[in-house]
Structure 1
Amino acid sequence: MAPIKIALVGIGKIVRDQHLPAIAKNSDYQLIAAASRHGTVDGIDNFKSIEAMLDAVPAIEAVSLCMPPQYRYEAARVALDAGKHVFLEKPPGATLSEVADLEALAASKGLSLFASWHSRYAPAVEAAKSFLATTTIKDVQVIWKEDVRHWHPNQEWIWAAGGLGIFDPGINALSIVTHILPRPLFVTSAVLEFPENRDAPIAANITFTDGQKLPVAAEFDWRQTGKQSWDIVARTAAGEMVLSEGGAKLSIDGKLVHEEPEQEYPMLYRRFAEIVKAGKSDVDLAPLRHVADAFMLGKRKFVEAFHD
């Protein structure tokens, strides 16, 4: 088959670090255009808006939307209405209802919609899922703590309503947990810490369970300095499992059993090509649903102001 003619929308750090290299190395794609208010991509046509891009370059077959989630719905709807397949960066939208509407629209037009959860494609995630399927899980703890000043310097959108705050990284952990555990979870309680000058939380503690009363606890914090923590720990009948470094390494009872080079975004684009060719969509809303439930059930605790 001929390469999928793809365009990128929202040219920022994640596009330069991940999307551009992944597309360049995948023969299933030909990058032919980009749209962004501020950024550009060398060697292709660049536009200030998705509307201008789609009008000028009708050959585009798919778009990858990488702008903040508050703006993703309108762009996705424009692309779908124009007959283009759509790749959504995580989280797939600012609300569950938005994404459900996009999924229905894509289905009605015979187009593919992909809610991409990059952390599910971390090297040791499938090995962790396989291990947990073979044993009895006693409890699970998620520790996801990082330094927002390092990872999101001067990015005001993440602190605005709909930007998700700490759940911008925390949803990565939830995307893994909802993939590797054998049964669906639901939130039972949450405490969300909001800086007094921000509209999104800087930290959260959440408890979950499932239909068999499995205890699951998650600690998310954006104030961590020094070593960053992206770990999922499960006590099981077969020993303690630690999925560490955001899913890069798997250890059982302290012994490293799985480690590979990171290939998250190349695998995402492989999956997108697969669903486009198959004429189907891949839209799992479980991680975003848990975030919505945390906001719904969560107690708000106001903490000191945050300044970059």
Structure 2
Amino acid sequence: MTAPIRLAVIGMGKIANDQHLPAIAANPDFDLVATVSRSGEPVGDLPLFPNIDALIASGPVVDAVALCTPPQVRRAIAATALAQGWHVFLEKPPGATLAEVVTLENAAQAAGASLFASWHSRYAHGVEPARAWLAARTIQRVTVTWREDVRVWHPGQEWIWAAGGFGVFDPGINALSIVTRILPRPFFLEDAVLDVPANRQAPIAARLNFRDDAGVPIAADFDWRQEGPQHWDIVVETDQGILRLADGGATLTLPTGETPTQADGLHGEYPGLYARFAEVIRAGTSDVDVAPLRHVADAFLRGKRETVEPFVE
């Protein structure tokens, strides 16, 4: 495929409007042809459909869809799109369960379509230089602090507190997507504590302890109750000093004080995601890494649940 990829965006919430639409508009590989949402306004003169079945029935020519819906409902929509032979971009997390993502990957292969499980934080400017620098060092300890105010970043999003909504792991999985990318060895969960509000199904905070194959400890502190300054930081202690990733991976500081960034010329995480989506479509491949989701699943499997005060927005 060499012509622009005709794309429909499904799920026109905050992330679609704030991140997806600007990235699509700036990428000549894509031509936005329709949007799908149960509510909201059309984008310019483009048609707006209430669901994917209405999109299919209307007959617009579509090559690919970007799914920005909550994860609990995404599998059925993605399966329908793949059955049409459409390429599928999955907003993070790629699904509500590991099994459904594997099922979608198999469906994409059977349909000859591309499936892209996106992890936007991996496209932050400091991530790839951090990965390259750590590859030649001995890692001694990793500390992750991901603390933000849910009222600021996810106002009114009730689905996120329901079963399958991930709770604090919605931002926490961003940290895990970076750590699984920059560390040279796989790691596993040893123990976790999940703070679950008395009136919710999903945790508002989590403390996790991992260890890699060489015995290196990795500690993560995720919290949605942070007021004041927000923290999205990863600190890696090595035999040659401390590497720091701040601002969700956007700012890398090496022990020398250097602050290198990736040299691909992209500005922002979502432009990088759409460049990668176009790449896998044109190559006829898929990009589905479930490592971050696997660690979240392990936290729910092994984590100790502690009931905390109700959360009222």
Pick the TM interval, shorter chain. Answer: over 0.9
Question: Which residue of 2 is the match for residue 7 of structure 1?
Answer: 8
Q: Deviations over 1:25-84 (max 9, x none)?
A: 111011001110012322201100011112213410100000100010010011001110
Could you tell which deviates more after superposition, 83-92 or 248-257? 248-257
Q: 2:149 aligns with which of 142, 147, 150?
A: 147
1:155 CA drift (Å): 0.7
Q: Deviations over 1:120-173 (max 9, x none)?
A: 000100011011111100000000000000000111010000000000000000
CA contact (8 A) 1:10 1:39 kept: no
CA contact (8 A) 1:5 1:30 kept: yes
Q: Look up the SS of the partner of 1:223 in the other structure.
A: coil
Q: What amino acid maps onto 2:81 in structure 1? A: A
Could you tell which deviates more after superposition, 49-58 or 167-176? 49-58
Q: How does 1:69-88 map to 2 (within 5 A)?
A: 69-88=71-90
1:259 CA drift (Å): 4.9
1:262 CA drift (Å): 4.6
Q: Does 1:34 align with 2:35?
A: yes
Q: Deviations over 1:230-288 (max 9, x none)?
A: 00001101101110000011112372422578510001000000000000000000000
Q: How does 1:249-264 map to 2 (within 5 A)?
A: 249-253=251-255, 255-259=257-261, 262-264=267-269
Q: How does 1:136-215 map to 2 (within 5 A)?
A: 136-215=138-217
Provide the identity percentage. Answer: 58
Question: Which residue of 1 is the match for residue 286 of structure 2?
Answer: 281
Question: Which residue of 2 is the match for residue 293 of structure 1?
Answer: 298
Quick one: distance in 1 between partners of 2:134 and 2:211? 16
Write out the 4+ residue segments of structure 1 that deviate beyond 6 Å after TM superposition.
none
Q: How does 1:11-30 map to 2 (within 5 A)?
A: 11-30=12-31
Quick one: distance in 2 between partners of 1:7 and 1:224? 36
Question: Which residue of 1 is the match for residue 270 of structure 2?
Answer: 265
CA contact (8 A) 2:243 2:252 kept: yes
Question: Which residue of 2 is the match for residue 121 of structure 1?
Answer: 123
Q: What amino acid maps onto 1:38 in structure 2? A: S
Quick one: distance in 1 between partners of 2:153 and 2:193? 23
Question: Which residue of 1 is the match for residue 240 of structure 2?
Answer: 238
Quick one: distance in 1 between partners of 2:59 and 2:121? 32
CA contact (8 A) 1:202 1:222 kept: yes
Quick one: distance in 2 between partners of 1:127 and 1:67? 31
Q: Look up the SS of the partner of 1:33 in the other structure.
A: strand
Q: Look up the SS of the partner of 1:208 in the other structure.
A: strand
Question: Which residue of 2 is the match for residue 228 of structure 1?
Answer: 230
Question: Which residue of 2 is the match for residue 105 of structure 1?
Answer: 107
Q: Look up the SS of the partner of 2:259 in the other structure.
A: strand
Quick one: distance in 2 between partners of 1:129 and 1:39? 40
- Which blocks of at least 5 consecutive residues in structure 2 are unaligned? none
Quick one: distance in 2 between partners of 1:57 and 1:248? 41
- Which blocks of at least 5 consecutive residues in structure 1 are unaligned? none
CA contact (8 A) 1:249 1:256 kept: no
Q: Look up the SS of the partner of 2:38 in the other structure.
A: coil
Quick one: distance in 2 between partners of 1:229 and 1:130? 24
Quick one: distance in 2 between partners of 1:19 and 1:75? 18
CA contact (8 A) 1:195 1:302 kept: yes
Residues paired across the two proteins, number: 308
Quick one: distance in 1 between partners of 2:119 and 2:296? 14
Could you tell which deviates more after superposition, 35-44 or 82-91? 35-44
1:211 CA drift (Å): 1.3
